[in-house]
Amino acid sequence: MTQAQLDAQKTQRSSINPSSCSPFIIGFVDSRVIQNGKPDGLFFIDTNGTIDDRRHGLTGSTGEGTNHLSAACKLNAYIAWVAYGFNPYDSVQIQVIGNSAAWGAKGQPFPAGDDVFTGQVVNPVGGNYQIELAVKPANAPNFVHPQTKLDMNVVSQ
């Protein structure tokens, strides 16, 4: 994404209510690890690990609890993303969720509130996407911006 696209994404709001979403993709941040420049302080899980569509070779999500989650999701599903710090005094927010073939322009995730992004899977093909967080550890003066690539595997209905 260009800087202009990133800036535009930060100001747009999603019309998708998080209560309509399934799955939720949940990120956890170990601020002690990311402060040291290690990307493995990010851990992602989702709430759809039980999707079973053997016709398409998908039996659920993979990479749960890592920074390389590959989430299984049904076509046309609404998805929500949230992130939390292991330390309850850390400040953690999603900054940007990048483009993916899975949602194209129509389903692009945007903030639906201060701490949640929502989007929709509108294409039958999956793809990877970049997610960037803003983390301010409790005892640190500055934010750090860890990021990683996650995948979305689309299961036809």
pTM of the predicted protein model:
0.86
Work out how many domains the chain is built from and give that number.
1
Q: Which of 10-14, 54-58, 114-118, 131-135 has the lowest mean pLDDT?
A: 54-58
Q: Is 10 left (phi over 0), alpha (psi -120 to 50) or beta?
A: alpha
**pLDDT confidence of residue 118:** 97
Q: Is the pLDDT score of 85 beyond 80?
A: yes
> By the 8 A CB rule, do 73 and 53 touch?
no
Span between the terminal Cα atoms of the chain, in Å: 30
Average pLDDT in the chain: 86
Task: Read off the pLDDT band of 83 (50, 70, 90).
Answer: very high
Q: How many helices and strands in the chain, by DSSP H and E?
A: 2, 9
CATH number at residue 46: 2.60.40
Share of the chain above pLDDT 70, in %: 83
Q: Is the pLDDT score of 9 beyond 70?
A: no
120 closest CA partner among 101, 107, 111: 107
The residue segments making up the domain with residue 46 are 3-155
* Per-residue CA distances from 45 to 7, 22, 68, 123, 157 (Å): 27, 13, 10, 22, 22
Q: Determine whether 75 is exposed, middle or buried from the number of CB atoms within 10 Å of its CB (0-12, 13-18, 19+).
A: middle
